[in-house]
Homo-oligomer: A and B are copies of this chain.
Amino acid sequence: MKFGHFDDKAKEYVITNPKTPYPWINYLGNEDFFSLISNTAGGYTFYKDAKFRRLTRYRYNNVPVDNGGKYFYINDGGDVWSPGWKPVKADLDNYSCAHGMSYTRITGERNGVEAEVTYFIPLGTWAEVQKVKLKNTSGATKKLKFFSFIEWCLWNAEDDMQNLQRNLSTGEVEVEGSVIYHKTEFKERRNHYAFFSVNAPIQGFDTDRDTWKGTYNDFDRPDAVFEGEPRNSEAHGWSPCASHYLEIELAPGEEKDLTFVLGYIEVDKDNKWESKNVINKNPAKAVIERFDTVEKVDAELKKLSDYWSKLLSTYELTSGDEKLDRMVNIWNQYQCMVTFNMSRSASFFETGIGRGMGFRDSSQDLIGFVHQVPERARERIIDIASTQFEDGSAYHQYQPLTKRGNHTLGGGFNDDPLWLILSTTDYIKESGDMGILDEMVPYDNDESKATTHFEHLKRSFYFTVNNLGPHGLPLIGRADWNDCLNLNCFSEDPNESFQTTGNKKGFTAESLMIAGSFVLYGKEFIKLCQVLGKDDDAAEAQKHVDAMIEAVKKDGWDGEWYLRAYDYYGKKVGSSENEEGKIFIESQGFCGMAGIGVEDGLVHKSMDSVKEHLDCEYGIVLQQPAFTKYYIEYGEISTYPAGYKENAGIFCHNNPWIMIAEAQIGNGDRAFEYYRKVAPAYLEEISDLHKVEPYVYCQMIAGKDAFKPGEGKNSWLTGTAAWNYVAITQYILGVKPDYNGLSINPSIPSKWDGYKITRRFRGATYHIEVSNPSHVSNGVSSMEVDGKTIEGCIVPIQPEGTEVTVKVTLGK
């Protein structure tokens, strides 16, 4: 069952039934100022940090879900409704919500009135603009009472929901003309306030939420709206809000526009006040003036559209499969940019107050957006590396506002350092910027300890070398990529966090996933050294990589697949010897991608085992058989109900690792089969089961052991986006940046005839046409660049500004 459709030309997903199985959302904003918005106008806005600078209030885990947002109400002669269906939930004659690239347009029509609201954050602006178009589609004059509504958050989102004994006494506002200002705590240490304006005279307002709606009413039945009478209330404590009231008359066929602006202002300490207790409104007025006509607003929308067209045009596919094209060209790239902006902080499943930027998370996200914003990727890499410790290990997370490591969440996730090699080498291959390696980068933000960024990578590599266990395999520490495989935790107290508790010393438990990662990114490190002419470094590193390969072959192979780990007691994890958890995806993915033992058929065997034991209708599950009881020596992974999350759920993040490993050994058919299973555009028809958005990846789909296999959760903020983008574009479609050119080496379904790709790379534009006359999956039989045949499958770097034609023919 579908709840809307893709409009690929407009780059939109258009929802036509407001009652989606779960709120389907979009993100507004691209720099410092962001909003989350659902298909019924639920959501909230923040400046830079979703915890410390939240502008509007939002309640997570609410009943009903997604209650509260940027609402409009129309009282049409006593008949009250909202353009986004919610909050009033009056039936609409027409409804649509188009989620586009950083904007959302919600349209509702009822009884001869059409209301269209376009929400977006103009580039370079600390404000959300809400463009409202009201049209009389009836044959008679309409006199409408029109109300806006938002609820202010008292800035710190965590404190806002907990510290009521203080916060119910602090709220303060000002109203001047058509602008409502929120100035709670401005009197003291804050140098910022917020405002909500409309570009027309108002006939009333409200700023005290419960006066406006009535204490016992929900947002669906505010007294002021239903009675058609604003209270002109002035908030003093309790819950400040902002609601404009406008009386609007529309002749038959007439249309009127309004522009609302929800903004954030910072002022100098010495420039805060206009007069005693009256805030300095000049900076707000300047922002409001930028959007005070519909022409100005439309120009900003055009700029935003151009911005996205440019970003997305870096990689454009024409495959003949519209689902594939829309994933590759629009939605997967868009999601990657959202993970760049948000890391794991704020979604409808992440509250924005719990997590900062992950060392591992953000390093991985980067491989999905580096081609779009290489300069910003560079800054991110330096930010991440600056939180590394001198021994190469890392804080697991850092705070975006301070860019400092988060002590609360600690470190000891032994896979963390290796991801920095991945992100840096991917960045250099995309940009050609070797200079980043010479940047002086601090450790733990201590500038006095700064070394070159190359030295950071070296320490990342040697952190593993210096932390090997009894089998010569990497010690797992607190956990590796699988945060829930806690081999040193040994917790019996339900109040302990699995993520921060370590009751055992971590000197024995080893990870095959890190072993694979070390070989894979170790090879990248070696290659980088070679490119730099650091042959001694390369040779030294090669010894360690070779030793690791041998260790994996000797003690990391279970016969039909790679082991997952050795536990604290030295017992195998992910072995046929185990009763539950016999085979895991992560080590197959990473040892597979690293090609460990590929010459002996290990990778092929591993992949066949994945197919046999882990594949199911909706994707590849994380491990099998699912755990049915708590294993104290495994930790959190065994706590989930079978089929969910790490306990045999389809953890979409690691499915592309298998796609890549399959693609590398030439199994294009299987690689693409796996791709289709989790790519959201292919799941649109089963939206009622899948539940979350059909235009973005979710972190987890319930596995075959679950109560409801195929049900998705935790959409948007997941490394799934980056990894699937890399798997499809670089390994299946096969266009991959390298130091010396653009590598083209597809691994596709054999039935495909071919496809076209336009790729901007280091200033040139490559028009690539792949044809597959022999219907093979893999193997370039010939390649022509601007009509000239070249050897191998790397298109050499072409001069900036040139248009390059590349013809690739697959075959035996």
Q: Which residue of B lies closest to A401 (CB)?
A: B495
Report which residue of A187, A209, A350, A700 has the largest number of chain B beta carbons within 10 angstroms of its beta carbon. Answer: A187
The answer to the question of A164 belonging to the interface, with a C-beta cut-off of 8 Å to chain B, is: yes
Chain B residues within 8 Å of A708, by CB = 236
Q: Which residue of B lies closest to A497 (CB)?
A: B159
Q: Which residue of B lies closest to A155 (CB)?
A: B494
Q: Is the CB of B169 within 8 A of A713?
A: yes
Chain B residues within 8 Å of A213, by CB = 63-64
Q: Is the CB of B162 within 8 A of A354?
A: yes
- Report A435 CB to chain B, min CB distance, Å: 35
- Which residues of chain A from 736 to 769 have any CB-CB distance to chain B below 8 Å in the complex? none
Query: In the complex, A237→B709 CA distance in Å?
Result: 13
The answer to the question of A67 belonging to the interface, with a C-beta cut-off of 8 Å to chain B, is: yes
Q: Which residue of B lies closest to A638 (CB)?
A: B188
The answer to the question of A682 belonging to the interface, with a C-beta cut-off of 8 Å to chain B, is: no
Q: Is the CB of B639 within 8 A of A493?
A: no
In the complex with contacts A64-B215, A236-B708, A495-B52, A639-B59 CB distance below 8 A: no
Query: In the complex, A543→B351 CA distance in Å?
Result: 58
The answer to the question of A234 belonging to the interface, with a C-beta cut-off of 8 Å to chain B, is: yes
- Number of chain A interface residues as a range: 35 or more
In the complex with contacts A86-B216, A216-B86, A354-B162, A168-B349 CB distance below 8 A: yes
In the complex with contacts A189-B491, A216-B19, A61-B630 CB distance below 8 A: no
Query: In the complex, A640→B68 CA distance in Å?
Result: 27
* Option from B189, B496, B641, B714 in Cβ contact (under 8 Å) with A630: B189
Chain B residues within 8 Å of A215, by CB = 19, 21-22, 64-65
Chain A 142-157 interface 0/1 with B at a Cβ cutoff of 8 Å (1 = within): 0000000001000110
Query: In the complex, A299→B145 CA distance in Å?
Result: 59
* Option from B155, B164, B640 in Cβ contact (under 8 Å) with A169: B640
Chain B residues within 8 Å of A713, by CB = 165, 168-169, 237
In the complex with contacts A21-B215, A645-B169, A353-B162 CB distance below 8 A: yes
Q: Which residue of B lies closest to A216 (CB)?
A: B64
Query: In the complex, A491→B19 CA distance in Å?
Result: 47
- Report A356 CB to chain B, min CB distance, Å: 14
- Which residues of chain A from 155 to 183 have any CB-CB distance to chain B below 8 Å in the complex? 155-156, 160-166, 168-170, 172
Query: In the complex, A492→B640 CA distance in Å?
Result: 44
Q: Is the CB of A63 within 8 A of B641?
A: no
- Which residues of chain A from 593 to 642 have any CB-CB distance to chain B below 8 Å in the complex? 628-630, 638-641
In the complex with contacts A59-B59, A215-B65, A641-B237, A628-B277 CB distance below 8 A: yes
Q: Is the CB of A61 within 8 A of B155?
A: no
Q: Is the CB of B216 within 8 A of A350?
A: no
The answer to the question of A185 belonging to the interface, with a C-beta cut-off of 8 Å to chain B, is: yes
Query: In the complex, A77→B281 CA distance in Å?
Result: 58
The answer to the question of A312 belonging to the interface, with a C-beta cut-off of 8 Å to chain B, is: no
Q: Which residue of B lies closest to A214 (CB)?
A: B64
Query: In the complex, A628→B187 CA distance in Å?
Result: 8
Chain B residues within 8 Å of A86, by CB = 216
Chain B residues within 8 Å of A645, by CB = 166, 169
Q: Is the CB of A169 within 8 A of B644?
A: yes
Chain B residues within 8 Å of A353, by CB = 162
- Which residues of chain A from 261 to 291 have any CB-CB distance to chain B below 8 Å in the complex? 276-277
Q: Which residue of B lies closest to A718 (CB)?
A: B165
In the complex with contacts A188-B630, A699-B165, A644-B237 CB distance below 8 A: yes
Q: Is the CB of B189 within 8 A of A493?
A: yes
Q: Which residue of B lies closest to A18 (CB)?
A: B216
Q: Is the CB of A349 within 8 A of B217?
A: no
The answer to the question of A60 belonging to the interface, with a C-beta cut-off of 8 Å to chain B, is: yes
In the complex with contacts A165-B699, A190-B494, A644-B237, A63-B68 CB distance below 8 A: yes
Jot down 16 A-B pairs with beta carbons below 8 A, ordered by A: A64-B217, A155-B494, A164-B714, A165-B714, A168-B349, A168-B713, A169-B700, A172-B641, A185-B639, A187-B629, A188-B630, A188-B638, A189-B491, A236-B707, A237-B644, A237-B707
- Beyond A59-B61, A164-B349, A189-B639, 7 additional contacts (C-beta under 8 Å) are A19-B215, A52-B495, A61-B164, A64-B215, A65-B210, A161-B351, A237-B713
Pick the 8 closest A-B CB pairs, nearest first.
A236-B707, A188-B630, A169-B644, A188-B639, A189-B494, A165-B349, A165-B714, A190-B494
